[in-house]
């Protein structure tokens, strides 16, 4: 069976452990080790804790359990990325509930520029980016990301408002994710799988 995961590829618990280690060491993933990215890495620990507990759509869980063939899911992300911290736990929970039909791993965008280059969004290295593969053949089945459509619109609005400090943009995005409770991403995944 082909393994589409480039090394190193982290399971969800391994990614959580990596993030915790880096936060304790006041570091982050990737070449840029700015105080802001280090702070976001530390803050993302709480997002990982709460996002895994978000309710799953029963129709999506059933759709995953009924997949005709097992899938490998690969997520491009970084520990400092808030969108990754909100999406990854929901994806991990879905994989855990798939009854073995989905295996999920995470790779760091900064360590895999070629893979990221082939999965850009509007010409940008936007993360998180989910890539679905057929587990038996390694054939790519599709992608999702970097965030739900509604969150993408909000992100563009917030980033376009030059009067906002980056921390205000992050707070606005975090508030959206908390209010949405993981539902928009799951609805989009359900539509992709249908």
**Per-residue pLDDT reduced to its tens digit, 4-29:** 567 789 999 999 999 999 999 999 99
Is 2's pLDDT higher than 60?
no
Domain 12-147+182-193 adopts which CATH fold? Glutaredoxin (3.40.30)
- pLDDT given for residue 1 in this prediction: 40
Is 153's pLDDT higher than 80?
yes
Percent of the chain scored above 90 by pLDDT? 91
Give the residue, 3 or 136, on which the prediction is more confident.
136
Local confidence band at 179 (pLDDT 50, 70, 90 cut-offs): very high
What is the distance between the alpha carbons of residues 20 and 85, in angstroms, rounded to a whole number?
A: 13
Cβ 188 vs Cβ 149: under 8 Å: yes
Q: What is the pLDDT averaged over residues 30-34?
A: 96
The predicted-structure confidence for 79-132, as pLDDT tens digits, reads as follows 999 999 999 999 999 999 999 999 999 999 999 999 999 999 989 999 999 999
- pLDDT given for residue 8 in this prediction: 87
Is 186's pLDDT higher than 60?
yes
Is 3's pLDDT higher than 90?
no
What is the distance between the alpha carbons of residues 193 and 4, in angstroms, rounded to a whole number?
A: 20
CB burial readout 59-93, b (16+ within 10 A) else e: ebbebbeebeeebbbbbbbbbbbbbbbbbbbbbbb
Query: Pairing relation of β-strands 140-144 and 129-134?
Result: antiparallel
Q: What is the pLDDT averaged over residues 132-148?
A: 96
- pLDDT given for residue 6 in this prediction: 76
Domain boundaries, the chain: 12-147+182-193
Q: What is the pLDDT averaged over residues 38-50?
A: 94
What is the distance between the alpha carbons of residues 81 and 105, in angstroms, rounded to a whole number?
A: 16
């Amino acid at each position: 069976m082909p393994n589409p995961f480039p090394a190193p590829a982290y399971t969800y618990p391994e990614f959580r452990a990596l993030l915790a280690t880096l936060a304790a060491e006041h570091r982050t993933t990737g070449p840029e080790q700015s105080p802001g990215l280090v702070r976001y890495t530390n803050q993302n620990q709480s997002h990982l804790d709460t996002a895994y507990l978000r309710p799953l759509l029963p129709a999506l869980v059933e759709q995953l359990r009924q997949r005709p063939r097992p899938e490998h899911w690969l997520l491009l992300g970084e520990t400092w990325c808030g969108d990754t911290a909100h999406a990854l736990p929901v994806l991990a929970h879905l994989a855990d509930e798939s009854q073995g039909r989905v295996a999920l791993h995470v790779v760091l965008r900064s360590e895999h520029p070629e893979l990221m280059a082939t999965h850009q969004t509007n010409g940008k290295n936007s993360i998180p980016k989910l890539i679905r593969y057929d587990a038996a053949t390694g054939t790519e089945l599709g992608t999702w990301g970097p965030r739900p459509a509604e969150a993408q619109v909000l992100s563009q609005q917030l980033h376009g408002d030059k009067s906002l400090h980056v921390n205000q943009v992050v707070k606005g995005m975090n508030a959206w994710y908390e209010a949405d409770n993981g539902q928009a991403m799951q609805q989009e995944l359900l539509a992709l799988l249908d």
